[in-house]
Amino acid sequence: MPITTCVFDAYGTLFDVAAAAREAAAEPGRGVFAEKWPAIAQTWRLKQLQYTWLRATAGVHQDFWTVTQDGLDYALEEQAVEDAELRARLLQLYWELSAYPEVPEMLRALKEAGMNTAILSNGTPDMLEGAVNAAGIGEVLDACLSVQSLGVYKPHRSVYGLVRAYFGCSAREVLFVSSNCWDACAASGYGFHTIWANRAGEPMDRLPWKPAHVLSDLTSVPSIAAAA
Please give the positions annotated as active site: 9
- Cβ neighbors of 77 (< 8 A, separation 6 or more) are none
CA of residue 116 relative to chain centroid, distance: 18
Q: How far apart are CA 228 and CA 225, in angstroms?
A: 5
Q: Per DSSP, what are the bridge partners of residue 102?
A: none
* Full 3-state SS string of the chain: CCCCEEEECCECCCECCCHHHHHHHCCCCCHHHHHHHHHHHHHHHHHHHHHHHHHHHHCCCCCHHHHHHHHHHHHHHHCCCCCHHHHHHHHHHHCCCCECCCHHHHHHHHHHCCCEEEEEECCCHHHHHHHHHHHCCHHHCCEEEEHHHCCCCCCCHHHHHHHHHHHCCCHHHEEEEECCHHHHHHHHHHCCEEEEECCCCCCCCCCCCCCCEEECCCCCHHHHHHHC
